[in-house]
Structure 1
Amino acid sequence: MDVKWKNLLSWLNDHGMDTSENSLLVERRLTYPGTEYYGLYAKKALSPKTTLFTIPRTALLNRKTLSSYYGTVAKSLSAMQMISLHLLLHRPLPGRESLDPLFGPYISTLPQNFDYHPLSWTTKRNIGPSLDILPPDAFWALQDLSSKFRNDLVAVSSFVHDHPQILEAASKGPSELMEDNESLVHDYLWAWLNVNTRCIYHQIKNSPSDPDNITLCPILDFANHSSHLPGMKPPSPGNGNLRLNLYRDFSLLSPPDSSVDADSELHLQYGAHCNRLLFVEYGFVLSPDSIPEDQRTFEVNVDDIVEALLVEKGEIGVWMKSVLVLDNYWRDWTMHYASGSAFPSYRLVTALRLISIFPSGQLPSSSEEMLRPWKNVVLGNCDRLSLNFEEAWRNILKNVCTTVIERASTALVAPEVQVHDCIVALWTEERYVA
């Protein structure tokens, strides 16, 4: 048993967790020898819906368990910001363990390096490939994630400057955390990515949809993702009783529909996500060959291509944009592959229908009358436009697909793309859908 795992179990035991052989039925093991990539493995054969472990609520790292430490002064921070701030303050020094008196043994088990994650490529020098070789939809999704990170960094930095007393217990000297420097950004990137890639939903607020209903959970976060293998599940919420669901211990059950052999790896399922989301949010992709065809869920966002079509329309394209914005159909235009078939999203069909109605150039005086059939479809008064317009938008869709295929095919033969398997997978998925 390695030292960090042993210390973690001892700490959990202090919190009241039963870590005996009969209650803790999993252990962390190296998935790939010689790396820091761990997985959760069954210590013995398990029947379906077996309780694998139960983490006491006091050992969960969330807004609730940190509130007694930071008090009311941290009310201005979101749960994401508060948890990442705590990790920032107590990041272990290289080769050491975290000195945090609250969660030190747990923090010591967290990954120490996120250079593989694309957000690190936007923040650190000489890390990762040029972002120019990413598919456009992955590039913009990464920019959105970077904006969230930067906004949280600003909020946390401002909080630290306003409340310097919280630095007294930090692992690093206060001067290192008070100054806006590269080291601070990198340390906060480590903290933020640990939360973003490892937090799970756990209700601690009255509203089930409150964004602060997140937590870091010891042991659970060693589990790897699989999109198609049987996944571990938490127990179902308690009969709709809010008091039973709030701030409870966290248990995890073995897959509900299958037994587990001893020494088998146990997985989590993040849901049916495309590679773009897995890449941007978690830093990995799934090879299509690793997923049965009837379980593949692929997606390509074509916002840039459709926006270019509107720009080509000139003045009327500007007007069509305003129509789409007003009716909440602006952007998020996607094409999908699932259950063995490819199809455009309804948002994309709606935008292409609008484009098919109007010729390029100036806005005609009869624009409102011309728009009425489209409005009727949007409002549900009829299912489709006239046959000629339905054929027109489908032809536009074919051109969109051609554009996706051509740019993906060009990227896939570029040497700078071919050396990065994750980026090859992104381009391959786009071409596959189109």
Structure 2
Amino acid sequence: MSPFEPGGQHQSNWNVKLQNLEKWLKTNGDFTLSDRVILQDTQKSGRGLYLKTGKISRNEVLMTIPSECQLNFHTAVYHISQFNPKLSFDGVTCQDSTIAPSDEVDPRFQMYEILSNELVHSLSSFQLLCVYILFEWKILPHWNTAQSFWKPFFDVFPTLNELEAIPALWMLGTEETNQPLFECLPMASRVHAERIAAQVRNDWSVIEPIVKQWCNAFEDSNVSLTLATLYMHFLHIYFVVNSRCLYIQIPLKDSIHDNFTLVPYVDFLNHNADSEIYCSPQINRMKKGKYGLGAFSIVGGSHQYSQPGEEILLSYGAHSNDFLLNEYGFVLAENKWNYIDVSAHCESIIKELPIQDFLRKHDFWGEYTISGSDISYRLLVAIAAKVCPDLKKVEKFMLGYLTEASFDPAMKILLKSFMLDLAQQIKARIETIKKMANVDQLCANNILNIYQGYQMILQRHMAEMT
């Protein structure tokens, strides 16, 4: 389907949501969008921004999103303080709220009252946004007396089904069909997924007492929401936030992990391994509006868009497919940032304790990788230690006094055998995945894509060794 072809009822519903989003952005700040671009929802790439006409040059502003319409620690605190006047952070909380209790009381006056200064400040950006979005998006609609300011933004959030290619969700039990695929993940992906899942569980343990208090308060209303249901909503929200956050410095927070914001419209831009040449974000802290951290703009890069229908791309960073799958739920057909984490395989062939102790002593144990362009120095040192009984000589190599050629031909022979063995393991894993039944095919194809990328890396290096 062309980016400019309608897509039936789905496209009609999407157009309505998009119109509501644009109206909301225009109403609540200085929203600009170039008339040369158009937003479309396509079967191939999902939601994305495309060139409609003309051209886009370096430093040309494609869009500007006002600070009031970005969702981050500051704007969440501002909106919560409209219903909890005891919440007070200089320069952040609302000083002149026009919202007042009526005969039909907005439930947020009661529910946000438990969010004290100390509690809010102790929460990470992830934790506060999950709590806030959980109530505003998933709980508030059960009352007919109020509507969230953020509803137009929520309406274009991805569904949970659209996020279920993210492996950590398989671990957390939202998609039992894909759980067998987890065992087939490459080591780098599996470790990454386990780390995300552990963080999700930790964040839920922090906010669960707040959610339980809300559940107890529901008993005095007609709202019937269980803790189990709200946990599933929390998972949905967590991965919406994680897959769509963009960097911005949060003055109230100290950790680098807290420095992010959700930006409507900008989160429609898709990623490419070379997209650093296409577009980049800019933050104007002089344009803060009534509240927030500054206007968020997207400007053109060195690539000049000139072909109608060309997709406007934004760099998510220099990330491998393992990273992209775990953080965003997609992979690229070709990705120059791919690498293979061969730590487990390397460590399995170094069984001699003196060699292990030597590598640990010099901080060269583990973190062994092979990319398309090189074999990591750490791996070469480990292989040298395996083939050379003179560890003093290996230490000189470690310090840069010798080259790997000093250990040939033994090093080349072991490296080639090492990579051939890896290639056979990868081939076997690919065959296993292809034979799997009753798993989501998109998720299976994503993992196959990662392994096929590994094969290309190994083939390139083995060809150079012949």
Q: Shorter-chain TM-score category?
A: 0.7 to 0.9
Contact 1:377–1:383 at 8 Å: present in 2 too?
yes
> How does the TM-score come out when normalised to structure 2?
0.73
- 1:257 maps to 303
Contact 2:62–2:297 at 8 Å: present in 1 too?
yes
Contact 1:56–1:250 at 8 Å: present in 2 too?
yes
Contact 1:30–1:38 at 8 Å: present in 2 too?
yes
- Give the fraction of aligned pairs with identical amino acids, expressed as a percent: 23
How far the C-alpha of 1:201 sits from its partner, in A, is 1.0
Partner AA of 2:65 in structure 1? I
Contact 1:273–1:298 at 8 Å: present in 2 too?
yes
Matched positions, count:
389
Moved more, 98-107 or 40-49: 98-107
Secondary structure at the counterpart of residue 404 of structure 1: helix
Change (3 A) 1:233 1:172: farther
- 1:120 maps to 169
- 2:385 maps to 354
How far the C-alpha of 1:206 sits from its partner, in A, is 8.7
Partner AA of 1:349 in structure 2? L
Contact 1:39–1:224 at 8 Å: present in 2 too?
yes
> How does the TM-score come out when normalised to structure 1?
0.77
TM-superposition CA deviations, 1:251-284 (whole Å, max 9, x none): 1113333133444321122233221111122111
Contact 2:30–2:65 at 8 Å: present in 1 too?
yes
How far the C-alpha of 1:309 sits from its partner, in A, is 2.0
C-alpha distance in 2 between matches for 1:76 and 1:166: 23
C-alpha distance in 2 between matches for 1:37 and 1:152: 29
Secondary structure at the counterpart of residue 29 of structure 1: strand
Contact 2:51–2:312 at 8 Å: present in 1 too?
yes
C-alpha distance in 1 between matches for 2:453 and 2:217: 46
C-alpha distance in 1 between matches for 2:416 and 2:216: 58
Quick check: 1:331 aligned with 2:366?
yes
Change (3 A) 1:398 1:90: farther
Secondary structure at the counterpart of residue 395 of structure 1: helix
How far the C-alpha of 1:173 sits from its partner, in A, is 4.7
- 1:137 maps to 188
- For 1:194, which of 235, 240, 256 is the aligned residue? 240
Secondary structure at the counterpart of residue 159 of structure 2: coil
Contact 2:50–2:309 at 8 Å: present in 1 too?
yes
C-alpha distance in 2 between matches for 1:78 and 1:201: 15
Partner AA of 2:347 in structure 1? E
- 1:307 maps to 347
- 1:268 maps to 314
C-alpha distance in 2 between matches for 1:208 and 1:235: 21
Change (3 A) 1:77 1:127: farther
How far the C-alpha of 1:204 sits from its partner, in A, is 3.1
Quick check: 1:410 aligned with 2:428?
yes
Q: Map 1:195-210 to 2 at 5 A.
A: 195-205=241-251, 210=256
Change (3 A) 1:318 1:31: same
C-alpha distance in 1 between matches for 2:129 and 2:278: 26
Contact 2:50–2:310 at 8 Å: present in 1 too?
yes
Change (3 A) 1:416 1:147: farther
TM-superposition CA deviations, 1:202-245 (whole Å, max 9, x none): 2233999833221110001111112236522124889xx9x9xx
- For 1:45, which of 50, 54, 57 is the aligned residue? 54
Change (3 A) 1:392 1:235: same
How far the C-alpha of 1:412 sits from its partner, in A, is 2.2
Partner AA of 1:143 in structure 2? E
Partner AA of 1:196 in structure 2? N
C-alpha distance in 2 between matches for 1:97 and 1:262: 45
Partner AA of 2:231 in structure 1? V
C-alpha distance in 1 between matches for 2:224 and 2:258: 28
Secondary structure at the counterpart of residue 251 of structure 2: coil
Q: Map 1:5-20 to 2 at 5 A.
A: 5-19=18-32
- 2:447 maps to 423
How far the C-alpha of 1:286 sits from its partner, in A, is 1.5
Contact 1:39–1:266 at 8 Å: present in 2 too?
yes
Partner AA of 2:183 in structure 1? D
Q: Map 1:270-285 to 2 at 5 A.
A: 270-285=316-331
Contact 1:29–1:39 at 8 Å: present in 2 too?
yes
Change (3 A) 1:137 1:263: closer
TM-superposition CA deviations, 1:337-391 (whole Å, max 9, x none): 04xxxx2112222333333345xxxxxxxxxxx54444444445x244782x454
Quick check: 1:298 aligned with 2:338?
yes
Q: CA RMSD in A?
A: 3.6
Partner AA of 1:155 in structure 2? V
How far the C-alpha of 1:429 sits from its partner, in A, is 1.4
Contact 2:164–2:175 at 8 Å: present in 1 too?
no
C-alpha distance in 1 between matches for 2:265 and 2:222: 26
C-alpha distance in 1 between matches for 2:426 and 2:137: 40
- 2:273 maps to 227
C-alpha distance in 2 between matches for 1:335 and 1:201: 29
Change (3 A) 1:374 1:151: farther
Secondary structure at the counterpart of residue 81 of structure 1: helix
Quick check: 1:30 aligned with 2:41?
yes
Quick check: 1:54 aligned with 2:64?
yes
Q: Map 1:55-70 to 2 at 5 A.
A: 55-68=65-78, 69=80
- 2:123 maps to 77
How far the C-alpha of 1:417 sits from its partner, in A, is 5.5
